[in-house]
Structure 1
Amino acid sequence: MTSGSADSGSAAPEAAAAADSPGTPTAGALQWQAPTLIRIDERTTIPSLLQARVRRSAARPLIARKQEFGEAWQTVTAQEFYDDVCSVAAGLIGKGLQPGARVAIMSRTRYEWTLLDFACWAAALVPVPIYETSSAEQIAYVLADSKARLVVTESITTAELVRAAAASLDRPEPEVLSLDTGALHAITEAGRGVTAEQVAVRTASLTTASTSTIVYTSGTTGSPKGTVLSHGNFTDLCSNAHLWMPEIAMGRDSRLLLFLPLAHVFARFLEVFQISGEGIIGHVPDTKNLLSDLASFRPSYLLVVPRVLEKIYNSADARAGNGGARRLFRWAARVAVDYSRAQDTPAGPSRALRAQRAVADRLVYRRIRALVGDNADWIISGGAPLSPRLAHFYRGLGIPVLEGYGLTETVGPISVNTPRLTKIGTVGPPLPPMAVRISADGEIMLKGPSVFQGYHDDPAATAAAFTDDGWFRTGDLGSLDRDGYVTITGRAKDVIVTAGGKNVSPAPLEDSLRGHPLISQVVVVGEQRPFVSALITLDAEMLPSWLRAHGLGPMTVSEAASDPQVLAALDRAVQRANTHVSRAESIRKIRVLKVDFTEANGLLTPSLKVRRGVALERFAADIDDLYGGPTGVQS
């Protein structure tokens, strides 16, 4: 069955049956095989998914473009988008780019990014994303490793940065164009002599084995690796995901507002996923005006990282102020959590709890739902674990969080909770037809059609990433329950071994602490030390409202880092986090840093993960001070 029949009646019964039985356990539940809902043929490429959408609904809206001024959105039909794609593809061919040539794209999220992506695929080219925040050194690395022939940037400034980076390379410099100075016009002009048939021949030359993109990992340590992904990696996952969870993107009322960087593979997957469904996709370049963008676009589902959900909760709590308003909000929050937890019991919520929730909805929940556009049915969360309490809070107020897990090497999602298959505290069952295995030392291993082809020009790294029997080593630690739901416990390389020989996974402690309104980032430390400690940074956005709520005057982050009442609040947060681990794993000391972690200072990746190795090196003196000296010196 091809992707063109992904919504056909013959596939639906299989998908419905799978909803009651997520997969097949083997090897004592240490391995789980998700069902295969649809088998794509070798011609099911990314362009074919767009062509199928045009055949189904050429005149219906596919993309919404925000107008330059105001809050209005202009729709682009499937046919109009496809025509734009073909015009730009002709221009890329007209520029002499041969099949398989690399085209780098360095821009914030916008319509033109998606247009260039699909145009490259239609012309049998390989788009290579570069993060808009990348340094000259990082840009030079990607250009050199990918051998990009053309680079399209967003602005004149980034174009000049790319030209400077390219000039340092010992190879012919790529052509560099910028969107803000007519890049698309220059490309389409180059295609005036290219026929539609020539574009069609290029598109038809692709198979599922053809390379679709090379995505460079942001890298929390070492140089980035070029992850080679095929068309089949995307299309097999999209086709099966639509059947597995049709509620998300197969309805005509499905609306996705994309604000994550399209240089990130999960945003790219959702781009293809939404366009190959039946709904509409919109783009905004960042989160500066996110609340107003959500209000005007009214998405039916959101993709966020847990930090966004933590900030929404903390902001709502802070806005409640003191006295009765705060007590009302916190009562409503408890009701939401209790109501959600009761949904997982055989009896369900009691009559009294349902009545309390109705009152809380009228007084509190409606205002919070309005913050995300008042149309969202689900929130998809990934990138880091979400605290179960927050997950219950959002489900209780009426927007279930579908927590998932994925990697660049798997085109994003590996497993995800669905509207019908959800266990809060897990990252859901594997997406069809993925297989998950837990090794003897607790590492999550994968097999399936969305697993990448290998690392670009790096056979040694590719070989090291797989077991002898072909399972991909994720480097993540986790478990499988008897129903096939995956739980993540941390990164294998991040595990701390204390001087007493205790293995400590820092992730549970770090994730628990990051839910506190004062805390921005946490790095748990203790390698070869007598006990576990933590470096903590303060959230500059939340600090003023927290200080007001606690009757304290204004302070800078630097002042707050040594204030007794702030430190006492952080100590209480640490004590709460410690209740979830053994004494040997508990945090005994903290150091509050006077600087936060950002992309600009090199302590966060573009996907907002802490560069742990960089942090440990940069704050080595602070760590030593916690223990009274370097490793081996007892405090």
Structure 2
Amino acid sequence: MLSERLIHTLEQSIKEHWELPAFSDYQGETFTYAQVGWRIAYLHEVFRRSHVKQGDKIALFGKNSANWTISYLAAVTYGAVIVPILPDFIPENVQHIVNHSDAILLFVAETLYENLEGAEMPHLHGVFSLSDFSVLYHPKKQHFEQTLRQAEAAFPPLNNPGLTPDKFALPAIQNDALASIVYTSGTTGFSKGVMLSHNSLIANVLFAQQNMPLVAGDTILSFLPLAHCYGCAFEFLFPFSVGCHITLLNKTPSPKVLLQAFREIRPRLILSVPLILEKIYNRQVKPALNKPIIQFALKLPIIRGILLRKICRKLTDSFGGNFTEIVIGGAALNQEVEQFFKLIKFRVTVGYGMTECGPLISYAPWNQHRPQSSGKTINFLEATIDSEDPRQIAGDILVKGENVMIGYYKDPDATRNTFVREQWLNTGDIGTIDEDGFIYIKGRSKNMILGASGQNIYPEEIEALLNNLPFVQESLVLEKQGKLFALVFPDFDAADAKGVSEAQLPDRMEANRRELNKRLPAYCAVSKIELYPKEFEKTPTRKIKRFLYTIHENVS
């Protein structure tokens, strides 16, 4: 267990950076560290008056915003357990998570709350708006609103000198306490609530403090979903711990929107997923490189160097021109893209992590990064390969250490199956590791697909829904160039019984696709269903051999 407590680190940051800006909603309101501290203290009073005890669960459902981060900090620093929920989850999934996690309070964006059924979450004691912390639901709403007015009276206006840094204090919460339950999915039967302790969160924060060069006043653009561990740790908790100014993007992070925000915010550190950089390379860099005049110029040594430096400067400026490095996480960067960025000395590196580690497993600065690696094992972890020769023969990547999860909430079987000999966590990934601790991922033993903004997409969930739609015998969901496609082996017998001809099946599958997407978050939407003429090949345990299949659809 680490000696540096998460709560102490957060408290010290608030006190030391009292007058600095902490959070801004993109093109919206800004809150200083003092104002964040005041709101945390106010919400602690709300929790007390709501009879919340340490260890109680508080769910958080909304897009990135300043009030999202304040709600998160207030819950964790009170000693409650935060349950962040991805804003793209459909209502049924959200309700399932709220119930499964035993949450007694819910902080939610009002536009999202409109789609939820309160009767489906009977154990909630109260629901609060993320826009202004007003009461959206309480069994005794009028009485409780009066109680909140009394709480507000206990906290005078923000500019009141009564609340000074020396008087600000947070409860003493030890690092072995449960801090967060993060759901890797929302669907009943698939959902796993990853239990992360305060120790896991502070291990990630401390490693970042020691290895990622941020200082007080640096700017950060948060566009990855904060309900996902990657964004939460490195666009929120770590920058907040050193006094950064974090701007929260509440728009869909398309390349166009991001590039505009980068120019405005000029972030000092950028966290991203591969798809964003690959799109920029494929749409802006590669077409220019393929022009005959550029091809000719690249063959001339003196001009080649000048041209590559110019490309690097232009790319750097497009990301705001102020960053120390871009850290790619969630999946490997395309080899061609990585090689080109290495050639022009563009400041990009690749890390590796998973929700169960809160999330970091390996990282190296851009100027130490080794091609095709996922960085070097962090100092709070041990990593090994379940292989006779870990340097040459790929095997399961196993880890153990300070930031590894406690287990899966209310799922001892899944917890037991994930931890192997001597309490090593099996990551579900396959790879090798070199003599210096750099990890090389060769493939995934799990089938997770990474969404454009870092969301985890589990094809089995989509297939389970698709297989229940008309005329579907079995299906296989695959990803190509950032889009999801489904291969379907039709149920010809059912089609014959309904008088549906083979020529009519494509139209029926298109109807299935539309119906399927209604039941899925937007980032899980299937772009097209392609018919497959025969049953899929399977292993002896009847699992489809996914590696045999690909999509023929042209998505360029």
Whether TM-score is above 0.5 comes out as yes
Give the deviation of 1:233 after TM superposition. Answer: 0.7
Q: Please say if 1:61 is aligned against 2:25.
A: no
Distance 2:64 2:340 in 1: 30
Distance 2:33 2:55 in 1: 26
Change (3 A) 1:452 1:189: farther
Change (3 A) 1:539 1:274: closer
Give the partner amino acid of 2:326: I
Point out where structure 1 has 5 or more consecutive residues left out of the alignment: 1-38, 69-73, 336-351, 495-505, 515-521, 524-532, 541-556, 558-592
Choose which of 280, 283, 307 in structure 2 pairs with 1:359. 307
CA contact (8 A) 1:91 1:190 kept: no
Distance 2:418 2:286 in 1: 45
Q: Secondary structure at the match of 2:196?
A: strand
Change (3 A) 1:56 1:201: closer
1:48-447 equivalences in 2 (<5 Å): 48-68=8-28, 76-155=31-110, 157-162=111-116, 164=117, 166-169=118-121, 171-180=122-131, 183=134, 189=149, 191-192=151-152, 203-218=170-185, 222-243=189-210, 245-247=211-213, 249=214, 251-252=215-216, 254-270=218-234, 271-286=236-251, 287-288=253-254, 289-317=257-285, 320=288, 326-327=291-292, 353=301, 356-362=304-310, 364-440=311-387, 442-447=395-400
Give the partner amino acid of 1:438: I
Change (3 A) 1:180 1:127: same
Distance 1:392 1:84 in 2: 47
CA contact (8 A) 1:152 1:179 kept: yes
CA contact (8 A) 1:47 1:118 kept: no
Distance 1:475 1:602 in 2: 30
Change (3 A) 1:621 1:356: closer
Give the deviation of 1:202 after TM superposition. Answer: 9.7
Distance 1:190 1:148 in 2: 25
CA RMSD of aligned residues (A): 4.3
CA contact (8 A) 2:45 2:151 kept: yes
Q: Which residue of 2 aligns with 1:452?
A: 405
Q: Secondary structure at the match of 2:441?
A: strand
Q: Secondary structure at the match of 2:128?
A: strand
CA contact (8 A) 1:109 1:259 kept: yes
Distance 1:485 1:354 in 2: 34
Distance 1:225 1:406 in 2: 17
Q: Which residue of 2 aligns with 1:549?
A: none
Point out where structure 2 has 5 or more consecutive residues left out of the alignment: 137-144, 156-162, 388-393, 453-458, 461-475, 486-508, 549-556
CA contact (8 A) 1:377 1:400 kept: yes
Distance 2:49 2:515 in 1: 38
Change (3 A) 1:83 1:177: closer
Q: Deviation per CA, 1:220-253: give whole Å up to 9, x if none.
A: 995110111111111123113322x142x2x346
Greater mean deviation of Cα atoms: 217-226 or 268-277:
217-226
Q: Secondary structure at the match of 2:377?
A: coil
Q: Please say if 1:471 is aligned against 2:433.
A: no
Q: Which residue of 2 aligns with 1:624?
A: 534
Q: Please say if 1:601 is aligned against 2:517.
A: yes
Give the deviation of 1:625 after TM superposition. Answer: 8.4
Give the deviation of 1:137 after TM superposition. Answer: 2.0
Percent sequence identity is: 24
Query: What is the TM-score of this pair, normalised by structure 1?
Result: 0.65
CA contact (8 A) 2:88 2:521 kept: no
Give the deviation of 1:491 after TM superposition. Answer: 1.7
Query: What is the TM-score of this pair, normalised by structure 2?
Result: 0.73
Distance 2:331 2:482 in 1: 18
Q: Deviation per CA, 1:287-326: give whole Å up to 9, x if none.
A: 1522221111011221111111111011204775xxx983
Q: How many residues align?
A: 470
Q: Deviation per CA, 1:256-277: give whole Å up to 9, x if none.
A: 2111111111111111111112
CA contact (8 A) 2:103 2:123 kept: no
Give the deviation of 1:457 after TM superposition. Answer: 1.2
Change (3 A) 1:536 1:413: closer
Q: Which residue of 1 aligns with 2:2?
A: 40
